[in-house]
Structure 1
């Protein structure tokens, strides 16, 4: 019994559990009405309305969910009845389809809520076409189909509002918990990098670390967006105060974890016969486990107990470091100071985790404000939209591609009288994504998922012809689609295909749609692939140097604000956190751009080896700056003409030149001189704080020749053709 209860508790804590419950209730209500009151002909339209409204849903509080539902239903009503009015006039219809698609895609520039509503509105428009095209089904009057779609959407919306009322804080808890899960994975990867084995190849680990950092940064951005919603209003702010403090705690731990105090291979060789790095590694792994435990505690609303393991390992590490520092110096003093900084940093992470059980007491003086990018007034909305309506905008390009692809699909289904041809348009909407890599991945998942779904549905219908069994599977497949659509799209496609087959089987036509469904999937996928490849293509190979420039430029900004706090004193205010986040965002964007480039055709790529070398160097640069940020303390006296100030100006100027050269795809200024720099041009300083600054600036300066050399090599390489 306890095992069953624990299983149910874990299932309920899953991030998709509430969404699945809402869909299950909505589908159950539709099935009860349709089959309980003898209106089986309403089934398809009501279910499609439920699906469309569920696709339009984003995490929100009750008030925001209500406003979003009103906007959703208004958009749905507009597209449903517009489709009905224009349906008999193909030329007007295709013009309306293309123009409304572009407008809806551009509407997504206003924020995530509007983006979800826009995509769902396009999908509901195609559902309306499907409803109107089923003249052989007893769907009643032509206006009945659009009306039933809206009723289904309204029914799910009512359930969604109830969920927002009963489980108000749940989405915020889930995203903060997911952030700590990803932070734990990042800590574990960073611990693996400390393996004290000389001669070990670490490039693959560095790339994996940069990739995981990108995932973590994405989750932290998502957490910020959701917490912005939950911190508006005094009552909501009180309920979410602990979550906000945990978010800030994750930011600080991330800055410390991403720090790099010395090339780890050099540390491994210098301390190969010492246990100091093993102890660092052990403590970081304990901290990774603590992050996972904290995530579970946040999710289940339990008090977090950090336990004694981390504290014990920390004491052992401090004792090992003290012993190492008392021995006769057999290693370079600079290396010993670097490993001392590393130990100090890891110990600080442990101290932060020790306060996680009482987040309210962790940072009483912290600036708790968050920057809100969303437009608030009609003027701001118009300015945001107008800025996006231009060919360089990725959103505009995607909107044009999707509009042309849907218009082409509409032309094909009329030219060849494709049976069930509106599935072509639906497939195109789901497969056509803003980039070639995501479109190509979605294409393969859609095709294989459709084949699996058709085969599975055919076998099930043959084996279980009884309507009750089929309706039970329909309900299960509807829930499975929403449980799997973000992480396992192929399985989600198979689930929705089975659902469609069962719906058609209620009218005795399931086998008749197998080949049309497969053919429409292939045609719609092909249209999406052709659109993304030939209509305003956005090849990542042409964008990589811009992403590289942004990463270097943001690291330079981050370095500037970090060193400013050594002059003025540590302050985790909004300005500092924005600059830090933008530096990590740029690093994550570079990583995702390179990964996307690898899936593109060979003639559109840059040479991958130097590109990934640059990614590793850029991530190392960010690590060196993060180490300075992690150890921020006010320097007693900072003179404008001091050695550190001169080094800061020199390094920042070099980084600015590299960023400008990358952005312009040209040779960096002073390229010949930069590559001759092989030793740090900084000397010892007086205080421990100044010595730490000197060490980190020396590491950054030693990295400049590699960055300059790679920048020069990219300048001589031809950009991929459009």
Structure 2
């Protein structure tokens, strides 16, 4: 039907972008109704109206998710909005100061979108408050204090409603889908030993379908947000972890079935079945932990089972003496041991991610209990990136966030100049249109342009009809207030439809104030046309050549920068280049900028309604694991301050060479859309390094007994213990990057 009446290029006008949520409308209704009721009861109806209206705007900045993140985001929005309202009140009567303030404040509004979805929403709300105040009559400190108090009361009421009375949980479907992944793994393990091979295959397919459903749930959640979120990153990691787990578990089960009837394999089979049961229980406990239930998860017992299997291998190796090569079961047992060890590492990593979600922490923190030596705790003091780092790293014209902030500030300043010089009534309608229409990408601006125009035209036609046909002011006020609540509720569902209801409120409120003058609707339509046109021109002309860079190119730049960063740091460990702090810092900033630009390009892709889930999720997973790989490099960089330059293990050079052999063809694979070559075998090099470090730790314990403080062994452990830990993290990231690129190009 859509294709019959609309050109396919404009089919987005009739396509919803999300789901309807009655809870959102109910919360907005409560926010406005309580403020109006309190204002009425206290004899300050006007203040109650403004507090209620301001609270609706502040509610737009509540993204849900982590409690602490929401609190910080809301508090930041309230405080900065209040500050900008005060400054706008003071400078709005002086044109030059008004234009300078418009430029600076709106640049910040566009620039903070680099903080993802919370930053985008906070920026929009701050911008709306700023532009609305700039169009109001200026005033002295008395007017400033009155407006500041209204903002603070509205902000406080919003925070009480969001964080105390009505905590929003928009991630519920996503958490359910992740839980189903781990429940499906546990179910598969528990049923695998009692079902036929064909039934087992069906079970594996069902688990894979559950993983795909989780990825689709993540994609839908991602589409409803204007940027990245911390829980969103953690979610895709948990989904990928589940994918890695099921692959390893299927491998173990298949290996056991190879020799399930071998009499010398009986004990190993019993131990493996015990291990699988513990893995299933671990997965179920992860689900409980994800839902904030008090439960402890650890892999100690699972590790003891692996140790027991290793002892069985040694026992059988002694039994067959020099004929181990003739005993295929030994090879199978060794593979089972290595696979179970991989599963243990994966489970520990997954549990760490879930615990960090529960504790509202950033992902990728270094767990100190993983450090192999007490002495090496001195080396664990790597710094958590500051909130200021993204602002500093993106403060360059190469950053798409910087360009968007600059583009937005220029066009809105032009809009402010137009309505101020021409003394146009309701000039804030012009600038607010620019704010909400002008998007980081031209494609998204194109869609917002037509959504805004369609909603405004319909609102400008319908509203005067209501005011002509309905004589009751009470009914008209009810329609007006209901429209703003409905409009704000529909923003995630369909922007054009929400604009229609918001226009009814805006036009209706102004018509009531001016005695029913229908020309207000015409003014609303005209200023929307001018504002949308300015936004369209800005998106088309200002810095557009830089935005034409495709996501695949930006992904390649992010990979290249990450590889250069890895080589810059590891070359110091290998002793091939001297330690140059400034050079590595510059490379780290280049890597961060490449990551941010790729993330911005991905957001432009995911915001396009014509983009399918299969296009978004693998690219996002690739970015996240690439970022985790770089974070591991940053940990090693932080330890260079204590590095004394001791001789590295020979296998470290081999590992670095393998990483380069992995990444370089990966770049070609992404650009050409072909499958990458086989993943290099990293495990032998990593195992050799870690075995060497474990041997040194035993030696160091013997040195403790003889009070030897400063020895070569101690220095080697200080230099390389953290590296030994991070190699496992890197391996996990590299495996996930490889599987993601394979899915991307299939």
Band the TM-score falls in, shorter-chain normalisation: 0.5 to 0.7
CA distance in 2, matches of 1:493, 1:13: 18
Q: 1:393 aligns with which of 389, 399, 404?
A: 399
Whole-angstrom distance in 2 between the partners of 1:185 and 1:222 = 21
User: Partner of 2:504: helix, strand, or coil?
Assistant: helix
Go from structure 1 to structure 2 and tell me whether the alpha carbon gap of 1:371 and 1:704 turns closer, same or farther (over 3 Å shift).
Answer: closer
Deviation at residue 418 of structure 1 after TM alignment: 6.7
Q: Tell me the residue number matched to 1:435.
A: 441
Bigger Cα displacement from structure 2, 551-560 vs 452-461: 551-560
| Residue 89 of structure 2 corresponds to residue 80 of structure 1 | yes
| Bigger shift: residues 347-356 or 408-417 | 347-356
Shift of the 21–585 alpha-carbon distance from structure 1 to 2, 3 Å rule, reads farther
- Provide the C-alpha distance between the structure 2 equivalents of 1:333 and 1:625, rounded to a whole number of angstroms: 34
Q: How far apart are residue 504 of structure 1 and its match?
A: 2.5
Q: How far did 1:422 drift?
A: 3.7
Residue equivalent to 1:371: 384
CA contact (8 A) 1:431 1:525 kept: yes
Match of 1:259 in 2: 244
Q: CA deviation at 1:427?
A: 0.5
1:553–1:656 contact (8 Å) kept in structure 2: no
How far the C-alpha of 1:406 sits from its partner, in A, is 2.1
Match of 2:659 among 632, 652, 660: 652
Please state how far the C-alpha of 1:79 moved relative to its aligned partner. Answer: 0.7
Among 541, 548, 551, the residue aligned to 2:549: 541
Does the 8 A contact of 2:57 with 2:125 survive in 1?
yes
Q: Is 1:514 the counterpart of 2:521 in the alignment?
A: yes
Measured in 1, the distance between the counterparts of 2:614 and 2:171 equals: 36
Establish whether residue 126 from structure 1 lines up as the match of residue 131 from structure 2.
Answer: yes
Task: Describe how 1:185-584 pairs up with structure 2 within 5 A.
Answer: 196=201, 209=215, 212=218, 222=229, 256-257=241-242, 259=244, 298=292, 371=384, 373-375=386-388, 389-410=395-416, 420-451=426-457, 453-454=459-460, 457=463, 465-485=471-491, 489-507=495-513, 508-509=515-516, 511-537=518-544, 538-539=546-547, 541-542=549-550, 544-551=552-559, 554=562
CA distance in 2, matches of 1:678, 1:253: 22
Residues 655 and 427 (structure 1 numbering): CA distance in 2 closer, same or farther, change over 3 Å?
same
Deviations 1:447-468 (A, max 9, x none): 3443555566567656765333
Residue deviations 1:518-568, cap 9 Å, x none? 343333223212212320124252564233342466589899999xxxxxx
Matches within 5 A, 1:54-203: 72-86=81-95, 92=96, 95-96=99-100, 99-101=103-105, 104-105=108-109, 108=112, 120=125, 122-128=127-133, 130-131=135-136, 143=139, 151=146, 154-161=149-156, 164=159, 174=169, 180=175, 183-184=178-179, 196=201
Which residue of structure 1 aligns with residue 265 of structure 2? none
Change (3 A) 1:524 1:68: closer
Deviation digits for residues 48-106 of structure 1 (CA, Å, limit 9, x no counterpart): 655666667897799997897565433212112311343xxxxx477446534455448
Tell me the distance in 2 between the aligned counterparts of 1:289 and 1:447: 50
Structure 1 pair 158–221 and aligned structure 2 pair: CA distance change class (3 A): same
Q: Which residue of 1 aligns with 2:604?
A: 596
Q: 1:492 to 1:101 in 2, by over 3 A?
A: same
**Contact map agreement 2:566 2:630 (CA 8 A) in 1:** yes
* Equivalent pair of 1:98/1:403 in contact (CA under 8 Å): yes
C-alpha contact (below 8 Å) 2:563/2:660 kept by paired residues: no
For residue 294 of structure 1, report the CA deviation from its aligned partner: 6.2
Whichever of the two has the greater Rg, that structure is: 2
**Which residue number corresponds to residue 35 of structure 2?**
26
Q: Against the structure 1 CA distance between its residues 104 and 256, is the aligned structure 2 distance closer, same or farther, given a 3 Å change threshold?
A: closer
Deviation at 1:38, TM superposition (A): 8.5
2: CA distance, partners of 1:338 / 1:183: 27
* Structure 1 residue 505, shift from structure 2 partner: 3.8
Give the 3 Å change call, closer, same or farther, for CA 523–612 of structure 1 in structure 2: same
* Contact 2:605 2:616 survives alignment (8 Å): no
Q: CA RMSD in A?
A: 7.6
CA distance in 1, matches of 2:145, 2:403: 30
Distance 1:706 1:164 in 2: 39
Tell me if structure 2 keeps the 8 A contact 1:45–1:131.
no
Is the 8 Å Cα contact of residues 65 and 164 (structure 1) preserved in structure 2? yes
Q: Is the 8 A contact 2:411 2:434 kept in 1?
A: yes
Q: Which moved more, 1:261-270 or 1:512-521?
A: 261-270
CA contact (8 A) 1:410 1:425 kept: yes
Structure 1: distance between partners of 2:653 and 2:559:
23
Cα 1:464–1:271 shift into 2, 3 Å: farther
For each residue in 1:252-276, what CA deviation from the matched residue of structure 2 results, as whole angstroms up to 9, or x when unmatched? 95673363786999999999999xx
Q: Distance in 2 between matches of 1:69 and 1:703?
A: 40
Aligned partners of 1:697 and 1:64: how far apart in 2? 34
For 1:703 and 1:436, locate their aligned partners in 2 and report how far apart those are by CA, in whole Å: 30
Tell whether the 8 Å contact from 1:193 to 1:264 is kept in structure 2 after alignment.
Answer: no
2: CA distance, partners of 1:613 / 1:63: 30
With normalisation by structure 2, the TM-score equals: 0.54
1:27-42 matches, cutoff 5 A = 27-29=36-38
2:564 & 2:186 partners in 1: Cα distance? 27
Q: State the Cα deviation string for residues 396-424 of structure 1 (Å, max 9, x = none).
A: 32232123322443566589987645412
Corresponding residue SS for 2:93: helix
Deviation at 1:485, TM superposition (A): 4.1
Distance, in Å, in 2 between the alignment partners of 1:101 and 1:485 is: 24
Uncovered stretches (5+) of structure 2, i.e. residues with no partner = 1-19, 190-199, 260-274, 297-301, 314-327, 361-366, 371-379, 571-589, 632-645, 692-726
Of residues 446-455 and 254-263 in structure 1, the stretch that sits farther from structure 2 once superposed is 254-263
Q: Matches of 2:733 and 2:387 in 1, distance apart?
A: 39
Q: Is the 8 A contact 1:654 1:704 kept in 2?
A: no
The number of equivalent residue pairs is: 598
